[in-house]
Amino acid sequence: MIVLSSTWRDSKRHLFKFSQEMSRAGSRLDSKKVNSELFTLTYGALVAQLLKDYENIDDVNKQLERMGYNMGIRLIEDFLARTGSGRCYDFRDTAEKIQTGFKIFLGITPTITNWSTAGDEFSLCFESNPLTEFVELPDHCLNLKYCNILTGVLRGACEMVQMEVASWFVQDQLKNDSVTELRVKFIKRLEDAIPAGED
Amino acid sequence: MTIHNLYIFSRNGTLLYYSEWNRLNKSGITMEEEAKLMYGMLFSIKSFVSKISPLDPKEGFLYYKTSKYTLHYLETPSGLKFVLNTDNGAQNIRGLLQQLYSQVYLEYVVKNPLCQLNEPIQSELFKQKVDALIKHSQYF
């Protein structure tokens, strides 16, 4: 799994380490560090390609979410194996674990704020976001949710641990807000599968 | 010490993987039926343990032991179930099950986009790695 390190000045060293470690990939199991620029630009290329493939921006948002979902259902296993964490006691616990997830996989620590009174909704605020470095939205793309892949990742990962959540962006630095705010809402607990009966 | 056999179940009860090293007694039923039987029993034990426990059952069911063998059980929060039968001498096999999860299943199934997560595992590489891990463990 690729882990991002966002320090600029270390970029050369990291790129070197990256190529070095790729050459012996498989023999090492610890996490490989990679420079975030490489990741930023690869993600940019993906979004650009989707914009070419779909005429409708809403379709692009939907595809990003779907891809994120497919990543999330696998990424959760990596997260669990790495942190050894158990099931969540409550949604606050979940929020902290999601925060840890961002730390591990994107090298950033979003702040958890704006809890709803019922305790089933919170916001993740990103001051910096490796996905959107070097990105500017052109005028015809104002509907584009550039980071929509993250909402899919959260949905997929939480579904695998028996939780249905929904998330959406309420503020976006790309749309001239001061922070990027991702709202996460708990919907319901999913039940354990019962074994198939005798036919 | 001996490791007898290993079952891996998905969160919906599909048998993802089965392997045996030293199994003297055959169940006499098809693998499919055996897997169903095993999963059903685990499911029952799990709900039994969580209902009957007088205290908060933090990790739930860990293992059971008969006069001849011990069944070790590891369930991840994502519902993946690892079941390993050993003789009674093997203790503290959770570490081995964790390793199986984080060093073999994660690396060679989850990170292999060609492996579907809810279907029996076909990957040869995965089979080799499981075999190597088990054979090199101190319990084998």
| pTM given for the model | 0.83
Asked if pLDDT for residue A24 goes beyond 60, the answer is no
A161: closest chain B residue by CA: B78
- Answer yes or no: do B110 and A162 touch at CB < 8 A: no
In the three-class reduction of DSSP (H, G, I as helix; E, B as strand; rest coil), residue B70 is classed as strand
Instruction: Specify the DSSP element, H or E, that contains B130.
Output: helix B124-136
User: Is A3 at the interface with chain B, CB within 8 A?
Assistant: no
Helical H runs in chain A?
Answer: 11-23, 36-53, 57-83, 91-106, 149-160
User: Could you report the per-residue pLDDT of B61-77, keeping only the tens digit for each?
Assistant: 999 999 999 999 999 99
Closest Cα partner for A91 from A38, A37, A158?
A158
Structure tokens at B119: 């279907």
Q: What is the pLDDT of residue B43?
A: 92
> CA-CA distance, A52 to A16, in Å (whole number)?
33
Cβ neighbours of A29 in B, within 8 Å: 102-103, 107
Q: What is the pLDDT of residue A31?
A: 59
Structural domain includes residue B71: yes
**Contact between A165 and A158 (Cβ < 8 Å):** yes
Write down the mean pLDDT value for chain B.
Answer: 91
In the three-class reduction of DSSP (H, G, I as helix; E, B as strand; rest coil), residue B74 is classed as strand
Give A112 to chain B, closest Cα distance, Å.
Answer: 23
In the three-class reduction of DSSP (H, G, I as helix; E, B as strand; rest coil), residue A33 is classed as strand
Handedness of CA A55, A59, A64, A69 (dihedral sign): negative
Structural domain includes residue B31: yes
Q: Nearest CB to A193: which of B13, B102, B111?
A: B13
Structural domain includes residue B46: yes
pLDDT grade for A8, boundaries at 50, 70 and 90: very low
DSSP A147: T
Structural domain includes residue B118: yes
Structural domain includes residue B60: yes
B56: closest chain A residue by CA: A89
List the CATH number of the domain containing B106: 3.30.450.70
User: Is A80 at the interface with chain B, CB within 8 A?
Assistant: yes
What is the count of residue pairs from A and B with beta carbons less than 8 Å apart?
A: 51
Mean pLDDT on A97-104:
94
- Answer yes or no: do A81 and B101 touch at CB < 8 A: yes
Structural domain includes residue B140: no
**Contact between B36 and A196 (Cβ < 8 Å):** yes
User: Is A161 at the interface with chain B, CB within 8 A?
Assistant: yes
Q: What is the pLDDT of residue A196?
A: 56
Cβ neighbours of B77 in A, within 8 Å: 80, 85-87, 161
In Å, how far are A12, A44, A126, B51, B93 from B61, measured between CA atoms?
A: 49, 46, 40, 12, 14
Q: Is the ipTM of this complex over 0.90?
A: no
Q: What is the pLDDT of residue B89?
A: 86
User: Is B119 at the interface with chain A, CB within 8 A?
Assistant: no
Residues 6+ apart with CB under 8 A from A166: A155, A184, A185, A187
**Contact between A1 and A94 (Cβ < 8 Å):** no
Range of the domain at B53: 3-135
> CA-CA distance, B52 to B57, in Å (whole number)?
9
| Single-letter amino acid, residue B19 | S
Q: Total structural domains in chain B?
A: 1
